[in-house]
Chains A and B, each alone.
Chain A
C-alpha cells in the first residue's frame, strides 16, 4: 500500500544533548519516594519490576499525560518544571500504551500514515516498506484495526511508534501478546538494527527478561513506587530470581565478536572457541561485538570433545551449579570464560553422565539455535 504523504517537517532537536534528566518527580503513586533518573540521549534501556510497581505511571508522567510535579528535561528543553509542563505533542517523544490504542474507524495503513505524517524524522519509503514486511503487517494493511487480534494490534502499534521515530521512545509492554519465537527471532533483532541506524533513547518495559537482555545492556527497576537504575543486567537477574525461580529466563544472553558473514552463515568468536549461526537476518561487519540468546533447551552436554558432527557449535564450559527443576529436569549453570548461561537437561542424563559442579564439559548446540541475530 502506498504511504506517500505530504511531508511537513518540524524543528528537529539535536540528539547529542545531555539526555533525559528527571529530578524529584512526584506523582500520587510515589509521594514519599521522588523519582530521580539520568539517562544518555541515546541507548536502549530495559525497564522491569513487579506488576503494579508504577512503571506505566512513570512513563505517563514522562510523557506529560498524568499529573506530577518535579523537573524533567531532555537535552536543553525543559519538559516539566514544578507543576507546569510542556504539552505532550511538543515533547520529542513517543509513548506506546499497553492496550495498543490504535486509532479506531481506520485501517492499519491509515494508522501508520498518521504516525509518519506527524513524525519529526520521517522514514524513507523504502525503509517503511521493509519494516512493514518484516513485522508481517503487509496482509493487514487494508484491515480496519477493530478486526486485528491482540498480537497483530501490538505489532502494528510498535511499528506505528517506529514510524514516528521520536528522540525518546517509551514502550509499555509492547509485545506481550505476540508469539515469543517471532519476537525473539525476528522482531527484536530488527528493532535493534533500527535503533542502530536511528539512534534514540529507548525505554523498553517488559516482564519478559529475554526481550530486555536481547535489546539492552542496562535496565531500570521499579518496585512499589521506588525507581532504581540503570542497573547492569546481572543485578536485575538476581532481583528477578529473588522473586521466584520460575521467572528465571530460559534464554541466556551471550556476547561474541563477529569474524565474518557469508550468505546467512555468521562466524563468531567467543573466547577461544568459534561459533556458527545460520538463518541470520541482520548484516554485521567483522570485528563487531554482538549479543544473542541461547535457549536452555537447545543445549546438549558431552564429557569429551566430540568428533565431527552436524551440530556445528561446541563450547568448552565449566559447570558452576546444578538446580533441580520440576518435571524430571535439571538446570545447569554453565560458564564459558566470563559469560554464564543455562542449559536444561533431563535428570536421567545428569545421572548417566555423572555431572558434578566445578567439572569441565563441552556444550553443543546447533547453528540455528543462536536467536536474535
Chain B
C-alpha cells in the first residue's frame, strides 16, 4: 500500500511531526521578524543580554529546557494551573505544550539569520527608504523584507528542520502519546528500544530524505532569482 511499508502509528507520528514543524515555523516567522527588526535597531546595553537569552536554546541541553518547561507547565505548580486555566487544558503532555516548547527551542534558528541580515543591510536600506519619504513600517515591509528574502528562506528551513529533529524537549514535556505528542524521533527511539530495527530503518530513512530535500529546496529558493537572471544576462538579454 505504501512504498516504504510504514505502519499506521508511524505515519501518524510523521504527520504529527510535520504539523508541529509547520506550526512552529509559521509562529516563529511572525515572532522572529519584528523581534529581529527591533533588535537590529536597538541601541542599548540590554541588547546583548536579550541576544544571549535568544541564543541560549542553541547551547543549552534540550533536556534542561524541557525540565524547566515541565516545571512551568506542571499542574502541581501555580504557574501551570494558571496557564492551564488560561488555555482551557493542561499544557503538559499536549500538542500545544509541544508547540510552545518548540518555539522557544528553535527561536535562535529563526532570529539569528534574520538579525544578521537586518544588521548588515538594514541600516543602509532603511535610511534610503526614509530618504525617499517612506515611513518605518513601509521600509520594513516593502524594502527590508524583500531584500532579506534569502535569509528568511534559510531561517524558515533551519527552523523547520530543527523542529523535525526535536527529541530531548519532547521527551521531557510531551511523552509519547500517539497522535498528540509522539513525534518521529520519539517513535524511532521506541522502535530501537523494542529492537524493531526494520521499522526504525524506515523512519530514519524518511527523516533523512525529508531533511535533505528541505535543505536543497531552501538553497534553490534562495538562489532562484539571481541564478535565472544571471543566465538571461549571459544569453544576451540587453542590459
- A residues in contact (CB < 8 Å) with B: 63, 65, 87-89, 92-97, 99, 101-106, 110, 114-115, 118-120, 139-140, 143-144, 146-148, 152, 160-161, 164, 166
Contacts and interface: CB of A to CB of B under 8 A. Distances in A.
A190 B131 CA distance: 23
Contact of B121 (A88, A95, A104, A140): A104
B137 to A, nearest CB: 10
A4 to B, nearest CB: 17
Interface residues of B, number: 27
A103 B131 contact: no
Nearest to A152: B239
Given A97-B128, A114-B142, A147 B233 contact: yes
B132 A105 contact: no
Contact of A120 (B133, B142, B143, B226): B133
Interface stretch (B10-18, B90-98, B144-152, B189-197): B144-152
Contact of A114 (B124, B131, B136, B143): B143
A319 B66 CA distance: 91
B238 interface: yes
Contacts, number: 85
B104 interface: no
Interface in B171-227: 225-226
Contacts of B64: none
Nearest to A115: B132
B65 interface: no
Interface of B: 121, 124-125, 127-136, 138, 142-143, 146-149, 225-226, 229-230, 233, 238-239
Contacts of B225: 105, 144
Contacts of A104: 121, 125, 146-147
A161 B238 CA distance: 24
A211 B147 CA distance: 33
Given A103-B143, A105-B147, A139 B239 contact: yes
B157 to A, nearest CB: 17
Given A105-B147, A143-B239, A144-B229, A94 B127 contact: no
A114 B127 CA distance: 14
Nearest to B133: A118
Contact of B146 (A89, A106, A119, A147): A106
B229 A114 contact: no
A88 B134 CA distance: 9
Given A144-B229, A146-B226, A147-B239, A94 B147 contact: no
Contacts of B148: 105
Contacts of B239: 139-140, 143, 147-148, 152
Contacts of A105: 146-149, 225
A110 B132 CA distance: 14
